[in-house]
Amino acid sequence: MKIAVAAEENSLTSMTDDRFGRAKGFLVYDSETKAIQWIDNQKNSQASQGAGQKAAQTIIDSTAEILVAYDVGPKAFDLLKKSGIICYRLKEKVMVKEAITFSMEEKLEKIN
C-alpha cells in the first residue's frame, strides 16, 4: 500500500506540512517494499489558483492509495475520492513516520 503524506522535507523524521495544495512536498511510503519517494510540490504551491487540484492530481499520479493531510479542499477531495484514494485528517503536526503509522493503524479520522 502506498501512503502519501504532506511533508515539509524529504525525510521520515520531517514534520508534516499543515497545508495540502501548497505543501512543500509529499513523501510517498510503500508499506510493502519500504521504499520512499519524494514528490516536490513547489510548482503547484506557487500556482495563483487551483493549487489543491494540482496537488491532488500529483497524488493520483503517484499511485498512492492513501493521503494523510490536515485538510483537503472540496474540489481536490472530489478528484482524490473519484480516484479511490482514502484521505485521512491530521489534527496536529507530527513526524511523517508517525503519520504513516497512524494511517496504517487506522488511528486517524477519514476526511469525508
pLDDT for residue 47: 67
pLDDT for residue 48: 67
CATH code for position 42: 3.30.420.130
pLDDT in tens, 3-50: 999 999 999 999 999 999 999 999 999 999 999 999 999 886 676 677
Domain count, the chain: 1
Bridge partners of 69, per DSSP, are: 89
pLDDT in tens, 57-87: 999 999 999 999 998 999 999 999 999 999 9
pLDDT for residue 45: 64
Evaluate whether 60 touches 81 at the Cβ level (below 8 Å). no
Bridge partners of 89, per DSSP, are: 69, 109
Mean pLDDT, the chain, as a whole number?
94
Select from 95, 82, 86, 89 the least CA-distant residue to 108: 89
**Structural domain of residue 85, as residue ranges?**
2-110
Percent of the chain at pLDDT > 90 equals 88
CA distance 31 to 76: 24
Q: Across the chain, which distance is largest between two alpha carbons, in Å?
A: 37
pTM passes above 0.95: no
pLDDT for residue 43: 81
CA distance 82 to 91: 24
Binned at pLDDT 50, 70 and 90, residue 112 comes out as confident
